[in-house]
């Protein structure tokens, strides 16, 4: 996608300028790159569509660079991991505290920024759709449907986050020509039905062959993967199963079972290979990735230092311990903002099978050796992980190497520039497991989850009694921790309250029933004076 996205700065300028809001959902054109003089050819639509990809990637953005939408706070994406069964806060950054202590309010930064991010993407997609109906100057007869399919995918993608996070939200499918202060909240089920319609259209009109598109570009299979999840949200488990099966049986993807890519000849395993830099796209031989967001280092159209900060959140501040210094081999400069809970990552927790490669030292680093040669008395010796380093000083704990990222030439890097696998086939198998489980097909659910466990070298489930919702949720940790939006998974399966209260010693005691939703941003309600716009319960 690097070549394809080379015009992303222009596209993002257009998309954001044309979709920026007053305090709500109204477009306010401010750029000389107005849609009237841009959406006049296939080239112009290519520029605009690249803007949609850029806005979608800024879901991870923090302080903003290169004109990206920004959340104006550290580790915005990690608010969907904290306040769950996964982690407590280490470095208690002010932007993440409300979600770790369950004190979010209608004025909390990320409560507002995610609303605005989603509607920015929706408004930009709606603009593409509107002008595509006006334009008659296409390079190919399929261009109109293709650009509409991409726009409708991203609109669905944004509404997915909105309904998970806020519940009932205004459904807007047209450009708002006039200033409006009378929006109302559309019932969640109605919004979900619109998402389904958009994704069906995307499936029918996006390319089928992932080898025919630039890395990072959408295909019909990305749309069908997401549609499987939306059907799960709706409780339409039969169609969720069909969609997941279609992706799995498409012939385009398979779980990686053999070493591959940039470090295939170095110590490691096939699971760790998935997260090696430059191993995410199909061009590396990775046949597991379905959709990959492009963040590549020092590449036109790639990432910035304000993009994906997942490493900073999950990785420890080892470098503040005497005897350590920053090293790219140790993941670079983590900030211990999410500290994994012992119940699942502890060495003696029994959460992983002994043979499960996802628990190998290549994937969870548990042994840390002092690396500062200027301190010869410590250099090369093991620094033990203790209760103090883990849960008191938050300086050293078992770390997820899937998020390790460092650059020897610039160890102060904040973001991770590695491309991010947004959808990969192992999750499709777990959607298939979920769909079958919720239909009571325990044998079929076992079959699906065993595909994932078999690749990992874990023991296969042999009894229907082993196949439970909690086991599926545990398996999603083993396979997808830090990749999935854990809060959304727990919400979909009705387990957010139960499992957070059971496992999270920080957020659990503070979690109330109403915390299944975030509040509606106060600025949105204040600006919508022309119609009733109720706040979510509890706020």
Residue ranges of the domains in the chain?
8-297+521-527, 310-413
Look-up of token digits 């078999």: 454
- Answer whether residue 5 shows pLDDT above 70: no
Q: What is the pLDDT of residues 235-280, one digit of tens each?
A: 999 999 999 999 999 999 999 999 999 999 999 999 999 999 999 9
| Total Cβ atoms within 10 A of residue 209 | 11
Q: What is the pLDDT of residues 401-420, one digit of tens each?
A: 999 998 888 888 888 889 99
Residue 16: closest CA among 24, 28, 6 = 28
Residues 218-228, mean pLDDT to the nearest whole number: 98
pLDDT at residue 70, as a whole number: 87
H helix or E strand, kind and range, residue 293: strand 289-293
For CA atoms 159, 163, 166, 170, the dihedral sign is positive
Residue 315: closest CA among 372, 362, 365 = 365
Half-sphere exposure of 207 (CA within 13 A, CB side): 14
H helix or E strand, kind and range, residue 87: strand 87-89
Strands (E), 360-488: 364-365, 368-369, 382-383, 399-400, 420-424
CA angle 199, 203, 207 (to 5 degrees): 135
Report residue 67's pLDDT band, with 50, 70 and 90 as the boundaries.
low
Q: What is the pTM of this model?
A: 0.94
Percentage, residues of the chain above pLDDT 70: 93
Q: What is the pLDDT of residues 284-316, one digit of tens each?
A: 999 999 999 999 887 877 888 888 899 889 999
- Answer whether residue 421 shows pLDDT above 90: yes
Residues 32-44, mean pLDDT to the nearest whole number: 88
Alpha-carbon gap, residue 519 to 508, rounded angstroms: 19
pLDDT at residue 64, as a whole number: 80
Exposure string (b/e) for 61-76, b if CB count within 10 Å is 16 or more? bbbeebbbbbbebbbb
Exposure string (b/e) for 416-428, b if CB count within 10 Å is 16 or more? bbbbbbbbbbbbb
Q: What is the pLDDT of residues 456-470, one digit of tens each?
A: 999 999 999 999 999
Residues 35-53, mean pLDDT to the nearest whole number: 94
Residues 44-68, mean pLDDT to the nearest whole number: 89
- Answer whether residue 23 shows pLDDT above 70: no
Q: What is the pLDDT of residues 425-437, one digit of tens each?
A: 999 999 999 999 9
What are the beta bridge partners of residue 383? 368
Look-up of token digits 């211990």: 336
Residues 465-485, mean pLDDT to the nearest whole number: 98
- Answer whether residue 61 shows pLDDT above 70: yes
Is residue 103 within 8 Å of residue 515, measured between CB atoms? no
Is residue 48 within 8 Å of residue 128, measured between CB atoms? yes
Backbone angles phi, psi at 383, to 5 degrees: -100, 110
Q: What is the pLDDT of residues 123-174, one digit of tens each?
A: 999 999 999 999 999 999 999 999 999 999 999 999 999 999 999 999 999 9
- Answer whether residue 26 shows pLDDT above 70: no
Cβ within 8 Å of residue 180, ≥6 positions away = 24, 25, 26, 530
Percentage, residues of the chain above pLDDT 90: 84
For CA atoms 208, 212, 213, 216, the dihedral sign is positive
- Answer whether residue 451 shows pLDDT above 50: yes
Strands (E), 239-332: 289-293
Residue 450: closest CA among 359, 341, 353 = 353
Q: What is the pLDDT of residues 68-81, one digit of tens each?
A: 788 999 889 999 99
Q: How many residues does the chain have?
A: 539
Mean pLDDT score of the chain, rounded to an integer? 92
pLDDT at residue 196, as a whole number: 98
pLDDT at residue 413, as a whole number: 84
- Answer whether residue 17 shows pLDDT above 50: no
Look-up of token digits 């854990």: 486
Domain 8-297+521-527 classification at class level: mainly alpha
Residues 387-406, mean pLDDT to the nearest whole number: 96
Half-sphere exposure of 128 (CA within 13 A, CB side): 35
């Amino acid at each position: 996608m690097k070549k394809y996205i080379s015009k992303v700065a222009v596209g993002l300028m257009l998309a954001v300028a044309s979709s920026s809001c007053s305090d709500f959902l109204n477009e306010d054109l401010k750029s000389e790159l107005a849609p009237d003089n841009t959406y006049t050819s296939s080239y112009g639509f290519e520029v605009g569509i690249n803007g949609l990809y850029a806005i979608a990637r800024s879901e991870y953005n923090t302080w903003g660079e290169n004109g990206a939408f920004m959340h104006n706070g550290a580790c915005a994406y990690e608010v969907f991991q904290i306040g769950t069964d996964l982690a407590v806060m280490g470095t208690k950054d002010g932007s993440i505290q409300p979600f770790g202590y369950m004190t979010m309010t209608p004025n909390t930064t990320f409560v507002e920024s995610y609303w605005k991010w989603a509607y920015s993407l929706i408004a930009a997609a709606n603009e593409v759709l509107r002008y595509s109906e006006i334009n008659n100057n296409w390079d190919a007869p399929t261009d109109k449907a293709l650009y509409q399919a991409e726009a409708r995918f991203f609109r669905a993608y944004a509404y997915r986050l909105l309904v998970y996070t806020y519940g009932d939200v205004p459904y807007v499918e047209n450009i708002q020509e006039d200033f409006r202060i009378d929006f109302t909240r559309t019932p969640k089920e109605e919004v979900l039905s619109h998402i389904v319609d958009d994704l069906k259209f995307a499936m029918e009109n996006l390319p089928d062959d992932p080898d025919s598109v630039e890395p990072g570009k959408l295909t019909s299979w990305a749309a069908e993967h997401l549609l499987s999840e939306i059907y799960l949200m709706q409780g339409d488990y039969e169609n969720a199963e069909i969609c997941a099966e279609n992706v799995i049986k498409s012939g385009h993807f398979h779980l990686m079972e053999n070493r591959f890519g940039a470090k295939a000849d170095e110590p490691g395993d096939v699971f760790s290979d998935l997260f090696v830099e430059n191993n995410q796209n199909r061009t590396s031989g990775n046949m597991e990735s379905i959709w990959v967001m492009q963040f590549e280092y020092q590449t036109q159209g790639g990432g910035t230092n304000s993009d994906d900060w997942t490493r900073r959140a999950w990785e420890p501040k080892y470098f503040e311990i005497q005897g350590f210094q920053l090293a790219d081999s140790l993941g670079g400069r983590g900030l211990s903002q999410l500290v994994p809970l012992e119940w699942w990552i502890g060495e003696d927790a029994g959460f992983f099978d002994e043979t499960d490669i996802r628990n190998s030292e290549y994937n969870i680093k548990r042994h840390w050796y002092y690396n500062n040669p200027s301190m010869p008395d410590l250099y090369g010796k093991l620094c033990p992980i203790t209760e103090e380093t883990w849960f008191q000083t938050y300086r050293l704990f078992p770390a997820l190497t899937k998020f390790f990222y460092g650059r020897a030439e610039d160890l102060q890097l904040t973001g991770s520039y590695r491309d991010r696998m947004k959808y990969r086939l192992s999750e499709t198998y777990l959607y298939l497991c979920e769909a079958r489980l919720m239909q009571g097909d325990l044998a079929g659910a076992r079959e699906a989850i065993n595909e994932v466990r078999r690749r990992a070298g874990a023991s296969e489930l042999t009894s229907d009694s082993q196949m439970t919702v909690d086991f599926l949720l545990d398996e999603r940790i083993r396979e997808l921790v830090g990749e999935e939006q854990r809060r959304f998974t727990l919400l979909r399966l009705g387990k957010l309250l139960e499992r957070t209260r059971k496992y999270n010693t920080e957020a659990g005691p503070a979690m109330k029933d109403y915390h299944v939703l975030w509040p509606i941003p106060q600025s949105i309600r204040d600006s919508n004076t022309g119609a009733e716009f109720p706040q979510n319960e509890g706020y």
